[in-house]
Chains A and B, each alone.
Chain A
Amino acid sequence: MKLVERLSLRAKLGLLYAALLIFSVVLVGFCSYWNIWELFINNKSSHLRARAKPVIEHWLIGNGLAGSPHPRLDPDRAAALARDLTSRDSVAIILNREGRIIATGRRLPEEPEAPLPDQQELKRAFAGENEVTYCSQVHGEPVLVMLIPLRPAPASPHIFGVIQLSSTLADINQILFRHGAMLMGLVAAILILGTLAGYWLIGVSLGDLQGLLDACHQISKGNLSKRVPLKNRKDEIGQLASSFNEMVDRLEATFASQQRFVANAAHELLTPLTGLKGSLEVLLRGAQDDPVARARLSKGMYKEVNRLIRLCDQLLGLSRLESSSHIHRQTVGLQDFFSDFMSQARLLAGNRSVLLRPGPFVTISVDPDLLQQILLNLLSNALRHSTDETPVVITWRLRPEFVEIEVSDQGEGMDQETLSHVFEPFFKGKSTGRSLGKRSGLGLALAKSMVEAHGGSIHIRSNLGKGTTVTFTLPIK
């Protein structure tokens, strides 16, 4: 069993195929051999009978036995009949009612010898069975034996003797031997050709499997750009290969986005570090001796350190949101929540106007701290991208399964290209005038993660020059 397990799929299928082929070919050969043998025996026995029948009838009539109510078997007459029925290839003996041989037809040495009568078979013949045919042996040679009961008339119950006709089967055996040899040759040829063809067919069917295997090896070594050559196969292997390729596509995309994320994060960390390193260097090179320069550089460094901390906090926040265990849900009434939130919002907005258009009364299960962070992120985006004269509007609506919260501004808006990237971490759109350096580009990515951690979804729509609206949903319970 261990050996079979160690074989390749191709070898296993090949072995199974060859075994099936051998079994079916041998079965067919055996059946055909048996059939031909049967046919020859039938042929021979009917031939014997056809030859014997007129001789017996003639003998019955000639000896006045036909139709006789009390027929008797005379040894001399029996001898004549036996002699008449004997020829070069068949010999007859005649047995009386007691089963004793009373006459045998063999006179010449070239005529075959008769086998000894089989008492079992004789009983059947005396019981009235007309065609008792069986095989026996004389000196190791196979012979066909036929027992013909002697009756005064057909179907008469008075059986007064039995003729045993026997004929050699050597000729049939010879033919059958030739036939068998031919059959063996044919079987061998079929086996060789069939196995070769089968092996080829299996190879063709499984050939791409090897390609799949090679690709798997390469991919597991880290070469994610490797794909299985498909060759347009539509069968199971083709489907396997295409699903496999799709899987690797997704893997590669995930890996690439992760790499991009790490690279972007490092990039974001390097900018404040540049400020820190440079300021320190300039201080050490002598600016520390000048109180004015020292104060300015220290303040800058303090800002950069704060920026680093903020960035690390946001990165930690993003990674924490990957697991929902960091969400502390509470039942929150939106009216109450927003009346608290608006005071924060006004603080953030300064002299800008933020309008709340309250929706219907509703309570939801949500982490209020996260909801506040989402809204503050969206609000600061809206304030940054709109002018002082236009308000930012916050509102919510009730839908069958969830609430929909919306933050919209009437600012500069953005184009489709920018819109398709806004939720990517570290993506920063083109900013007009205001400094890019202050922003991490994580705000919307964080908001998206926070909304999704609650089982909701977030959407953004925008018109260049008209404004931007961000909508997110939160499920009610």
Chain B
Amino acid sequence: MIMMAKREDRTKVLIIEDDPVITEFLSTGLRYEGYDVTGKDNGRAGLEALKREAFDLVILDIMLPDIDGFEVCRRIRAKAIEVPILMLTVKKDISDRVMGLDSGADDYLTKPFSFEELLARMRAILRRSGKARENSKLHAAGVVLDPATRRVSLHGRGVELTPTEFGLLELFMRHPYRVFTRDTLLNRVLGYDFDGGTNIIDVHISHLRNKLGDRPPRLIRTVYGVGYAFHPGDDAS
């Protein structure tokens, strides 16, 4: 089962987008990343939601059926709501981006965008606005991982990891107890277009376990027939 942080600890994201397929993948993907997602399919409903509830971030499409994204943005700012806004646009005109930023957006993404980039921009915006709920350094069972400096230490001693091993450990530590299939690990650490057998993941995991001195009951546990999951041991959930 997927273990999630308590709802109030999670970053709350409002998606205002009229295309149901885009809303679907955004909310599914963001929920997997541990965000609390609310979706609205027009500008008025989005503004209503903002009035009722406080959000940490708004993902706003420009082409909306009732009032366009620029106008939604201006109205949010007019009400002095200090929520960071990430705009989605198809148009690549400079004027559109300028208009987006001028109307009060913090950043924009042009469709079609990469989900990875969306996550990176969201993290950047949240950091800038000081709304990042997560501690920048990840701690678990004596392992400390700093995504900014890409350093890992075990009980205060530095551990040298390859980029792939680092990626795996960061993924496990961000999502404790979640079971990852070898396929998913491969896609997320080595890229979607990596061609090769999934057993390469087993090799990297084994290296990682060695470097962390991981002995049974392990931090990185094998889930037979499925994949791997990270068990920090202490009661984190």
Contact = CB atoms under 8 A, between A and B. Distances in A.
Interface of A: 267, 270-282, 284-290, 293, 296-297, 300-301, 303-304, 431-437
A272 B19 CA distance: 9
B36 interface: no
B65 A275 contact: no
B18 A286 contact: no
Given A278-B26, A285-B29, A434-B65, 7 more contacts: A267-B91, A276-B112, A282-B32, A286-B180, A286-B184, A287-B28, A289-B181
Contacts of A286: 32, 180-181, 184, 187-188
A281 B28 contact: no
Given A270-B111, A270-B112, A437-B19, A293 B28 contact: yes
A274 B66 CA distance: 21
Nearest to B24: A300
A286 B114 CA distance: 15
Nearest to A433: B65
12 contacts: A270-B90, A270-B112, A273-B112, A277-B112, A278-B25, A278-B26, A282-B29, A285-B32, A289-B180, A297-B24, A297-B25, A436-B63
Contact of B187 (A284, A431, A436): A284
The CB with the most chain B CB atoms within 10 A, among A286, A289, A435, is that of A286
A300 B21 contact: yes
B3 interface: no
Interface string B54-67: 00000000011110
A381 B23 CA distance: 26
- Report, nearest first, the 7 A-B pairs whose CB atoms are least far apart: A275-B21, A282-B29, A300-B21, A274-B112, A274-B111, A281-B115, A278-B25
A414 B102 CA distance: 31
Given A285-B115, A437-B19, A279 B184 contact: no
Given A267-B91, A286-B188, A303 B115 contact: no
B106 interface: no
B224 interface: no
B21 A304 contact: yes
Interface of A is mostly: helix
Nearest to A435: B18
Interface in B31-53: 32, 41-42
Contact of B188 (A285, A304, A433, A436): A285
A287 B29 contact: yes
A285 to B, nearest CB: 6
B25 A275 contact: yes
Contacts of A281: 25, 29, 114-116, 192
B183 interface: yes
Contacts of B114: 277, 281
Contacts of B192: 280-281, 284
B65 A435 contact: yes
Contacts of A437: 18-20, 63
Contacts of A293: 28, 32
Contacts of B29: 278, 281-282, 285, 287
Contacts of B184: 284-286, 288-289
A271 B115 contact: no
B111 A297 contact: no
Contacts of B112: 270, 273-274, 276-278
A436 B91 contact: no
A73 B146 CA distance: 155
Interface string B113-150: 11110000000000000000000000000000000000
Contact of A271 (B2, B19, B187): B19
A275 B187 contact: no
Nearest to B192: A284
A290 B184 CA distance: 11
Q: Which of A297, A300, A303 has the most CB of B within 10 A?
A: A300
B18 A436 contact: yes
Nearest to B193: A284
Contacts of B42: 433
Given A270-B90, A285-B32, A436-B63, A303 B21 contact: yes
A275 B115 contact: no
A279 B32 CA distance: 13
**Most chain B Cβ neighbours within 10 Å, of A274, A290, A300, A303:** A274
B22 interface: yes
Interface in B157-177: none
Contacts of A272: 21
Given A435-B41, A436-B65, A274 B22 contact: yes
A289 B111 CA distance: 26
A270, A275, A296 — which one has the most chain B CB atoms within 10 A of its CB? A275
Contacts of B91: 267
Contacts of A282: 25, 28-29, 32, 115
Nearest to B29: A282
A297 B25 CA distance: 6
A219 to B, nearest CB: 26
Nearest to B191: A284
Contacts of B22: 274-275, 278
B193 to A, nearest CB: 10
Contacts of A434: 65
Interface string B187-221: 11000100000000000000000000000000000
B25 A279 contact: yes
A60 to B, nearest CB: 118
Nearest to B110: A270
Contacts of B20: 300, 435, 437
A286 B185 CA distance: 8
B187 A285 contact: yes
A434 B41 CA distance: 10
A261 to B, nearest CB: 15
Nearest to A300: B21
A314 to B, nearest CB: 18
A230 B173 CA distance: 74
A303 B2 CA distance: 28
